[in-house]
Chains A and B, each alone.
Chain A
Amino acid sequence: MLEAVEGSAAIAKAVALCRPQVISAYPITPQTHIVENLASLVADGQLRAEMVSVESEFSAASVVLGAAASGSRAYTASSAQGILLMTEVLYNIAGLRIPLVLTCANRAISAPVSAWNDQQDSMSVRDAGWIQLYCASNQEAVDTTIQAFRIAERTELPVMVCVDGYILTHTLEPIDIPAQGQVDAFLPPYRFSRALDPVRPISIGNLVTPEYYAEARYAHHHALLRAKDEIEAADRDWAKISGRRSGGLLSVEGRDDARIGILTIGSVIGTLADAREEYPDRPAKLLKLRSMRPFPVDAIRQACRGLSDLIVLERALSMGSGGIIGTEVRGALFGEPNPPRVHNFAAGLGGRDMPLEIYPRLLKAAEAPTPTRFEIMDVEMEKLPETER
């Protein structure tokens, strides 16, 4: 049944439906409402979980790591500086191949300090060895959170569910919160094969010499690549119960004869879909990238066949290089026969608004004789000193 719920409250309810046994977090805007809601559910007895309110994000990530290694289903959430502070632990969780779920309420990175949305935080840890799924709506955030626990536990990899701060976390939407029975039918209790147990003592986190390190990295990399199947399967199986799909690895939507595509990630897909209705004479295919890690190379190649131009729009960048997703998409298309021209833009940085008019402007930019390698949109040069223009 649809309820009008704030995104954060909906995510908290979804987490609670997954019956986490340990939750640990440190407050940071815009993640706070998620953990506040969870704390209330625990305080009211609606959720039986150990809620560990720690002294830093570093400890939050460490507590859920220890809890998951002990055999408990564990959850945390953070944003921006919090993600950066826990980065060392994020790499460690993934390298130890410990399943747990983290919600990243996406926010820009300091300096300059900004409390507003972009995706530089989660993009900065894209190489940590986590599965990263991005949500386009709060309904997707709910469904993806539930799927994330199953994906994590079946692959023994941690999953980061990325939701745009404020745009999703602080927005009230009609959302279908699943029933407990639906989630229980989808997500069996957590059984961790390598749980710390005095009856079967094992050592976790050993020192590894050069004789073994490359093998460990190979195994981790391939575990992530194999996770594609579990991500697709979780989306399919949850659709059988809920009637909704969240888009697997990558979903494509639009007319078959469309020659221009826009590939993007996160909530801006909704803006572009609305804009396309406003500009019916300019139909573009919309490619919604849901899984940033593992990166769906084959799905991107498939989706780009027949396109003359692909616009990649993203909310983060690699300083001194350019677009992150744009670069990876170009890499994925390399060697394809007749690949589309790729135009790469970053927009919406630090909470800059992305209005409907971005759609015609992107399509216009794609008409340029030479494709834009990378550009940050909407930069107002008069605000900069001359030496920085």
Chain B
Amino acid sequence: MAADEKKSLFELRRTQPAFRGLEAGHLACQGCGQALGARLVTEAAGPDVIVANATGCLEVFTTAWPRTAWRVPWMHSLFENAPAIASGIEAGLKAQGRLAKVVAMGGDGGTFDIGLQALSGMLERNHNVLYVCFDNEAYMNTGIQRSSSTPHAAATTTSPSGTERMGKRHLKKDLLSIIAAHHIPYAATATVAYPSDLRKKVRRGLEIEGAAFLLVHSPCPLGWGHDGALTIEVARLAVETGVFPVLEMERGDVVAVMQIRKVRPVSDYLKLQARFSHLFKESPEARVELEHLQALADHHIEVYGLRGTSPDPRDSEGADTVRRGGLRWA
């Protein structure tokens, strides 16, 4: 006790455990981007939230009865209805005069594909809900099948590469434009490589009255085929290559982007992942697809203005708290 009294307030704060809505001990794979993302979201949201979770990895690895990893009230109903469940919770709280925040969570399958209609309804009705999509770019829970979020040319179990195919033939769905078309108060993208940025966006989304949407790029070591220790590295490269633009939108307009201090070639991102390994074999088709993917990243950099002009504390280097601050910020 006497020793504690000598500690400064700053030191005392550092000894306080941060609130964790999602506890350790769940069944996620090592290096799971979604588990990290969900932990960061719940830490930023605080204890006074109710979570509606779509079917998917997150639901499966956190709640095998009779255990649960959630310290906040949590509800899973079905795959395609998390936005409607969240809408109902929000309406119910409003009717009771209660003030808890409502966070809906889903993967890209539950958000880009099967739950898109319910999400559109929730956004159109402007429910006071923060919807967080953990985007790992395929159906990982069922064994890595392609979704409409799977990037062009990525190999999955239902879009394999072969003598006649270079992985997925179609483009990744431009969900952000669909979200933007709803003109909701706030929408943003974030990634597990930039936890402070992610937390700030969670808080912003919860502060705002009305519907908010957050797309969190979440590497999946199993599905993407990279070492679990490289999750943050892979997520960071997605930003630094322009593959995954990090931005904020208000009423559908882009109001802020994370600029890239040093733009890296897309191949730096791709070559770490087995799902793109067929693109590094010597063939004209592979070269063409690599060019396509570089062009898509260049397009992002152009349309969102991602190229940094001078070093900035909020750019892809400045905002990188993992590299600079260590665990305290992660």
Contact = CB atoms under 8 A, between A and B. Distances in A.
Contacts of B74: 201-204
A196 B91 CA distance: 13
Contacts of A54: 84, 87, 121, 125
A287 B118 CA distance: 43
Contacts of A198: 47-50, 72-73, 100
A66 B117 contact: no
Contact of B95 (A49, A56, A197, A207): A49
A272 interface: no
A203 B87 contact: no
B80 A58 contact: yes
Contacts of B77: 62, 65-66, 89, 92, 96, 205
A204 B71 contact: no
Given A54-B84, A67-B91, A72 B96 contact: yes
Given A52-B87, A58-B118, A62-B118, A202 B94 contact: no
B124 interface: yes
Given A89-B78, A203-B68, A205-B77, A70 B93 contact: yes
B81 A55 contact: no
Contact of A207 (B64, B88, B120): B64
A68 interface: yes
Contact of B96 (A56, A70, A89, A202): A70
Contact of A52 (B76, B91, B98): B91
Interface string B41-74: 0000001111011000001100111101011111
Given A55-B121, A63-B91, A71-B92, A201 B85 contact: no
Looking at A22, A53, A62, A69, the one whose CB has the most chain B CB atoms below 10 A away is A62
A62 B84 contact: yes
A68 B90 CA distance: 11
A24 B117 contact: no
Contact of B88 (A52, A88, A203): A52
Contact of B60 (A55, A74, A197, A207): A207
Contacts of B49: 198
Interface of B is mostly: mixed
A66 B86 CA distance: 6
B222 interface: no
A334 B76 CA distance: 41
B75 A59 contact: no
A59 B92 contact: no
Interface string A39-78: 0000000000110111110110011111111111010000
A63 to B, nearest CB: 4
B75 A204 contact: yes
A319 interface: no
A88 B50 CA distance: 23
B81 A206 contact: no
Contacts of B72: 198, 201
A209 interface: yes
Nearest to A21: B95
B84 A205 contact: no
B84 A63 contact: yes
Interface in B119-177: 120-121, 124-125
A208 interface: yes
A39 B142 CA distance: 42
A203 B91 contact: no
Given A62-B78, A62-B85, A201 B71 contact: yes
Interface of B: 47-50, 52-53, 59-60, 63-66, 68, 70-78, 80-81, 83-96, 98, 100, 117-118, 120-121, 124-125
24 contacts: A21-B95, A22-B88, A50-B92, A52-B88, A54-B87, A54-B121, A56-B121, A59-B83, A62-B118, A64-B88, A65-B77, A67-B92, A69-B85, A71-B96, A72-B93, A198-B49, A198-B72, A198-B73, A200-B73, A203-B70, A203-B73, A204-B74, A205-B75, A207-B59
Closest 6 CB pairs of A and B: A66-B88, A70-B92, A62-B84, A205-B76, A72-B92, A21-B95
